[in-house]
Amino acid sequence: MKRFSEQLKKKAETVKLSAIERSELRDRVVSYMEYHPLAADVRREAPKKDISTLKTAPFAMVRIDMVQVSKFVGAFATLILIAVPLMAERSVPGDVLYPVKVQFNEEVRSSLSFSPYAKVEWETKRLERRIAEARLLASEGKLTPEVEAEVAEAVKSHSDAAQREIATLRESDNDEATIAEIAFASALEVQSEVLENDIEKDATATTTTGGRSVLAIAGAVDEVRKSAVAQSGEGVSYEKLMARLELETTSAYEYFNSIEDIASAEERADVERRLQDIERKLEEARELKANDQPATNVLAVALADTRKLISFMTNIDVRENVAIDELVPVTLTFDERATVIEKQVEEAEKIESMVSDIFPELRVDVAAKAAVGLEELRTNIALATTSLSERNIIAAEAAGTEAQNYAHDLAILVKLDLGTPDTPTEPSEEGTDSENGDEYTDNATSTDDRATSTEGRASSTESSAGSSASAEASVELEAGISIQNPLR
């Protein structure tokens, strides 16, 4: 019996009404209650409690408007997420918001750089921001040695990050890595020029006591620049380099148009000339490619020049502190290079003629050296002239420079031997013919010997006339010594 009761209990636990059955049962019960209400004498009301006897603590009701709360929370979030980061962008090392700028703003932006090339560009930008912050503090005399050391360390950190991204990029795309390296090296060269000019302009920029020292930062940039030398264009795809240059030159022209109202006429002319030089390099590369000759090195130089030119146009600090010639020197056209060579040859021929006229007046040892110099001078003049007529500009430049150097050395050699009667040249203890490498002592002669020699030349009318001609030639040669090679 007991066992039956247990089985019945277990079975009862498994028997349950379904949702539909429960609903139907409830409806039936309610219907029955409606048709069979309780009798009036059976009904009774529930007892009412006297609330006056209840003891309660005093309280006040506060109504919270959740709409206003949500607006306040939204405004506060906007302030934190937008206003504070925007204000932090103007901060410099030492400010309260500077950690927000470096550790939040820049890190968020870094996470939005998806490609390795974009990451290299962003790390380069961060490096430039650190240098700009340090220069701003230095201009105000607030760059302490501690902050300077921190900035120098940050420069190395950003450079290491950029180079790691370049190495990562090289594993998958060597062409893109080389292009990124050229851009990175160009940015470092620009910043190095800016810091070097700061040091040259301000003597206190090298001392650590005045709050203006940028020497440690300049050293860090120079060290990084040496370790990040841009690769040449060898082995890089011509098509990729040309495509990148088309993008960069398009940007350069857009920036050039944007500075038309703020730049001076001279600055616009300088920038326009550099843009024309870059276009000529592109045309030269196309011609080389058409003739199946290597052209990527020319494109690599053009890309570096374009990046520097963009930095000059877009960065006001660079434009105000560095001359454009220091960043992107003018590239002479063929006609301009030919004009320089013609001038070199003209000056060299002038000195050759003067030295030939006074050659008989020279001492024997000096005349022997002058003869060798004259032979080399005439050879290089002829070679420069011939190469120029054949439009071989490189050979003509080399010969023209050599001719100018020989002419310069001959002018010094002859001047030291003859001297100038009105402004006598004091002899040096020892001299060197810089081109031939021969040393000579007692370049002029002693004062007594020179006087004796002068009396000997003046003993006859013919000798006196020769001495006068030599003196005039010496004065002309002295002027010729100041000739400088514009290509050096």
pLDDT mean across residues, the chain: 80
pTM of the model: 0.65
Q: What is the mean pLDDT of residues 354-375?
A: 88
Q: How many CA atoms does the CB half-sphere of 171 hold within 13 Å?
A: 6
435 or 229: whose pLDDT is higher? 229
The Cα 36–Cα 50 span in angstroms is 34
Total domain count, the chain:
3
Answer with the one of 231, 265, 280 that is the final residue of a domain: 231
In our burial notation (b when 16+ CB lie closer than 10 A, e otherwise), range 180-212 reads bbbbbbbbbbbbbbbbbbbbeebeebeeeeebb
For residue 441, give the H/E element and its range.
strand 439-441
461 or 378: whose pLDDT is higher? 378
Looking at beta carbons, which pairs linking 402-405 to residues 24 or more positions away fall under 8 Å? 402/376, 403/344, 403/345, 403/348, 403/377, 404/344, 404/347, 404/348, 404/483, 404/485, 405/434, 405/435, 405/485
> In this structure, what CATH number is given to the domain that contains residue 205?
1.20.1420
Say if 54 falls within a structural domain: no
- Kindly report the number of other CB atoms within 10 A of residue 410's CB atom: 27
Say if 363 falls within a structural domain: yes
Range of the domain at 439: 334-480
Alpha carbon 390 to its chain's center = 39
Residues 6+ apart with CB under 8 A from 42: none
| 139 & 215 share domain | yes
| 350 & 459 share domain | yes
In this prediction, residue 256 carries a pLDDT of: 93
Residue indicated by tokens 């690769």:
231
Question: What three-state secondary structure class fits 237?
Answer: coil
Residues 6+ apart with CB under 8 A from 6: none
pLDDT digits (tens, 9 = 90+) for 78-88: 878 788 888 88
Question: What three-state secondary structure class fits 331?
Answer: coil
For residue 116, give the H/E element and its range.
helix 116-139
Q: What is the mean pLDDT of residues 96-114?
A: 90
| 343 & 459 share domain | yes
Q: Are 165 and 127 in contact (CB under 8 A)?
A: no
Say if 391 falls within a structural domain: yes
Nearest alpha-carbon partner for 305 in 230, 217, 239: 230
| 260 & 347 share domain | no
| 347 & 474 share domain | yes
Say if 9 falls within a structural domain: no
Structure tokens at 40: 């009036």
Answer with the one of 184, 203, 231 that is the final residue of a domain: 231
Nearest alpha-carbon partner for 143 in 204, 196, 84: 204
pLDDT digits (tens, 9 = 90+) for 271-294: 999 999 999 999 999 999 998 888
| 122 & 198 share domain | yes
Say if 80 falls within a structural domain: no
Q: How many CA atoms does the CB half-sphere of 57 hold within 13 Å?
A: 2
| 417 & 319 share domain | no
Say if 17 falls within a structural domain: no
Lowest average pLDDT, out of 44-53, 89-98, 307-316, goes to 44-53
Answer with the one of 231, 254, 287 that is the final residue of a domain: 231
| 125 & 162 share domain | yes
The Cα 167–Cα 177 span in angstroms is 7
| 355 & 391 share domain | yes
Q: What are the helix (H) ranges across 291-426?
A: 296-314, 316-321, 324-327, 334-358, 364-389, 393-418
Q: What is the mean pLDDT of residues 403-423?
A: 77
Nearest alpha-carbon partner for 151 in 107, 213, 88: 213
In this prediction, residue 428 carries a pLDDT of: 38
| 303 & 396 share domain | no
Q: What is the mean pLDDT of residues 338-364?
A: 91
In this prediction, residue 342 carries a pLDDT of: 93
Say if 302 falls within a structural domain: yes
pLDDT tier, 304 (very low <50, low <70, confident <90, very high otherwise): very high
Q: How far is CA 188 from CA 13, 181, 307, in A?
A: 84, 11, 11
What percent of the chain has pLDDT above 70? 77
Say if 20 falls within a structural domain: no
| 345 & 458 share domain | yes
| 410 & 469 share domain | yes
